[in-house]
């Protein structure tokens, strides 16, 4: 049982552009607004929240743009502020608030007990968590955290960072008094920003894992399993048997692989910078919350939030930096291979051009010699008699000889100068 139970949803969705122009609204968010009977204008006015009442569930709805990310803050509660309520209400709250969010969702269970016993608060937190998820299995809760004298529990659950829409961050806050709940309500927008940075850190790390997986699939990432498979398409250096078309094919293959490596490297660099920015913002926002809370009555000790910024996020940063460092040498090596192939292609092209030039020169000399010889013979030989055509045959043979001999001499001389 909890008194004045609340369920708050902090949802974050990356805005998607339709045809590169207009922002497409998530259908599940529009369906939620319709279920809660909130007017359409609420999706375009972030300056205020919109109260709603559906059956016996009350609350407010507010949609806020955080840069390129669309955020939603929805609160649901039972209006009776003094009567203990069965925790089964949390399951009903969640059913009404169910939606998709591609960056992440945070659920905050909030209520108060008149008992100050830590054991009673833990028991209430576990029952509330089981009711929220409709399960009977005993949850694992991280303890030892406090906010304004209230006890905060973090639900420990496995995370699949490849499917962020299925990963929920669930907190249970059990307050000692109703007044404490009212004070906590003044921090809702601070929490909205803090959870946003947390989900952005997870989203950024998830994107970096996707990039790494794609590079591994292409055989471009230097891991133990892929190092033997990384291939550089370098043709045989035997220029005598090398064909220019094959060189072009090899060059195209390497350029294609280079473009993929470059895109992967740039993506990792972008994810790394985004992670660093959100880590800094997360820590700054957390410090602001602690500073404000420490000026109020009640113990504030947010170890689990500090650990995320100092340990978990730092671990993600180290992994991305290592991946970037591992991929960079392969990119530089492939660039050198491409330069080598281009050099080979230029040598091969020059070789072919030189051969063609020599051939034209030799043929030109042969034709010129043959023409000159024919012209001379045609003027020197006697006119053929009606029954004797030997003079034409002699002219033809001499013409051929005059063509072959200079051509052979030219061929020998060109080869000699070519070797020099």
Task: Give the end of a domain, one of 306, 327, 350.
Answer: 350
Cβ-based neighbour number of residue 21 at 10 Å: 6
- Asked if residue 386 has pLDDT above 60, the reply is no
pLDDT of 239 reads: 46
Give the pLDDT score at 265: 77
Boundary-marking domain end, from 315, 350, 385:
350
186 burial level (CB within 10 Å; 0-12, 13-18, 19+) = exposed
Percent of the chain with pLDDT over 70: 63
How far apart are the C-alpha atoms of 259 and 252, rounded to whole Å?
Answer: 11
Do 306 and 335 lie in one domain? The reply is yes
323 to 72, 326, 377: CA distances (angstroms)? 34, 5, 81
Query: Which comes out higher in pLDDT, residue 191 or 327?
Result: 191
Strands 140-147 and 22-24, bridge-based pairing: unpaired
Q: How far apart, in whole angstroms, are the C-alpha atoms of residue 254 and residue 230?
A: 12
Confidence of residue 80 (pLDDT cuts 50, 70, 90): confident
- 235 Cβ neighbours under 8 A, 6+ residues apart: 242, 246, 247, 250, 341, 344
**Which run of H or of E encompasses 9?**
strand 2-14
Asked which of 334, 350, 366 is the last residue of a domain, the reply is 350
Q: State whether 274 and 180 are in the same domain.
A: no
Are residue 257 and residue 175 in the same domain, yes or no? Answer: no
**Together in a domain, 370 and 346:** no
**pLDDT(308) > 70:** yes
Q: Are 170 and 99 contained in the same domain?
A: yes
**CA separation for the pair 323, 311 (Å, rounded):** 18
- Range ranked top by mean pLDDT from 18-22, 49-53, 166-170, 208-212: 49-53
Mean pLDDT, residues 11-25: 65
pLDDT of residue 141: 92
For residue 379, tell me if it sits in a domain.
yes
Instruction: Single out the residue of 291, 218, 224, 297 nearest to residue 259, CA to CA.
Output: 218
Q: Which of 396, 390, 399, 343 is nearest to 369 (CA)?
A: 399
Regarding whether 154 and 246 lie in a shared domain, the answer is no
Whether residue 302 is predicted with pLDDT greater than 60 in this model: the reply is yes
pLDDT higher than 50, residue 408? yes
**Residue 84 domain flag:** yes
pLDDT score, position 230: 42
> Do 42 and 102 have their domain in common?
yes
- Residue 50, pLDDT score: 94
Pairing of the two strands 168-175 and 104-112: parallel
* Domain boundaries, position 387: 352-419
Residue-level pLDDT at 1: 84
Beta carbons within 8 Å of 243's beta carbon, 6+ residues apart:
none
Position 333 scores a pLDDT of 55
The total domain count for the chain is: 3
Position 241 scores a pLDDT of: 47
Q: Check: CB of residue 199 under 8 Å from CB of residue 193.
A: no
Identify whether 217 is part of a domain.
yes
Of 32, 137, 134, which is closest to residue 87 (Cα–Cα)? 134
DSSP 322-374: HHHHHHHHHHHHHHHHHHHHHHHHHHHHHHHHHHHHHHHHHHHHHHHHHHHHH
Same domain, 178 and 300: no
pLDDT of 283: 95
193 located within any domain: no
CA distance 204 to 317: 10
Q: How many CB atoms lie within 10 A of CB 416?
A: 9
Q: Based on the domain organization, do 176 and 265 belong to the same domain?
A: no
Nearest-angstrom CA–CA distance, 371 and 364: 10
Q: At 79, is the pLDDT very low, low, confident or very high (cuts 50, 70, 90)?
A: confident
Contact by Cβ (8 Å): 125, 174 = yes
User: Rounded mean pLDDT of the chain?
Assistant: 77
Mean pLDDT of all residues in 256-271? 76
More confident residue, 129 or 370: 129
Separation between Cα atoms, residue 419 and residue 415, nearest integer Å: 6
Residue 236 has pLDDT above 70, yes or no: no
Any domain includes 196: no
Q: Is residue 192 part of a domain?
A: no
Q: Is residue 374 part of a domain?
A: yes
Q: Is the pLDDT of residue 400 over 80?
A: no
Better-scored residue on pLDDT, 89 or 162: 89
**From residue 340, how far is each of 245, 254, 300 by CA, in Å?**
16, 11, 63
Pair 140, 238 in one domain: no
- The torsion defined by the Cα of 125, 126, 129 and 133, in degrees rounded to 10, comes to -170
* Cα first-last separation, the chain: 99
If asked whether residues 161 and 18 sit together in one domain, one would say yes
Asked if residue 159 and residue 209 are part of one domain, the reply reads: no
Q: What is the pLDDT of residues 152-198, one digit of tens each?
A: 999 987 766 666 666 789 999 999 989 999 999 999 999 999 999 99
In a domain, residue 194? The reply is: no
pLDDT of residue 404 exceeding 90, the answer is: no
Mean pLDDT, residues 100-104 taken together: 89
């Amino acid at each position: 049982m909890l008194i004045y139970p609340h369920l708050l949803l902090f949802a974050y969705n990356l805005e998607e552009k339709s045809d590169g122009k207009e922002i497409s609204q998530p259908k599940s968010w529009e369906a939620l607004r319709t279920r809660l009977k909130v007017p359409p204008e609420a999706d375009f006015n972030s300056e205020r929240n919109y109260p709603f009442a559906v059956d016996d569930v009350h609350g407010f709805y507010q949609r806020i743009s955080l840069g390129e990310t669309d955020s939603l803050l929805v609160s649901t509660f039972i209006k009776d502020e003094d009567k203990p309520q069965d925790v089964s209400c949390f399951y009903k709250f969640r059913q009404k608030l169910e939606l998709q969010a591609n960056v992440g969702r945070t659920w905050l269970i909030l209520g108060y007990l008149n008992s100050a016993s830590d054991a009673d608060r833990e028991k209430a937190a576990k029952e509330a968590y089981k009711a929220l998820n409709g399960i009977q299995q005993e949850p694992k809760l991280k303890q030892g955290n406090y906010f304004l004298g209230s006890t905060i529990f973090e639900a420990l659950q496995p995370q699949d960072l490849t499917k962020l829409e299925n990963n929920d961050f669930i907190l249970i806050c059990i307050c000692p008094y109703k007044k404490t709940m009212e004070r906590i309500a003044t921090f809702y927008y601070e929490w909205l920003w803090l959870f946003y940075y947390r989900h952005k850190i997870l989203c950024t790390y998830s994107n970096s894992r996707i990039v790494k997986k794609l590079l591994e699939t292409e055989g471009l990432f230097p891991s133990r399993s892929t190092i033997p498979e990384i291939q550089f398409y370098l043709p045989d250096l035997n220029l005598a048997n090398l064909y220019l078309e094959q060189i072009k094919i090899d060059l195209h293959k390497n350029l294609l692989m280079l473009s993929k490596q470059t895109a992967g490297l740039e993506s990792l660099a972008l994810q790394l910078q985004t992670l660093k920015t959100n880590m800094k913002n997360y820590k700054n926002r957390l410090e602001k919350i602690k500073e404000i809370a420490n000026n109020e009555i009640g113990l504030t000790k947010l170890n689990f939030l500090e650990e995320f910024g100092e340990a978990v996020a730092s671990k993600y940063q180290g992994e991305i930096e290592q991946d970037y460092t591992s991929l960079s040498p392969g990119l530089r090596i492939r660039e050198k291979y491409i330069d080598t192939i281009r050099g080979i292609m230029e040598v091969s092209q020059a070789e072919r051009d030189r051969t063609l030039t020599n051939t034209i020169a030799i043929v030109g000399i042969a034709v010129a010699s043959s023409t000159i010889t024919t012209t001379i013979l045609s003027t020197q030989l006697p006119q053929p008699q009606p029954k004797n055509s030997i003079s034409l045959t002699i002219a033809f043979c001499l013409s051929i000889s005059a063509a072959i001999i200079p051509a052979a001499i030219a061929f020998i001389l060109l080869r000699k100068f070519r070797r020099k």
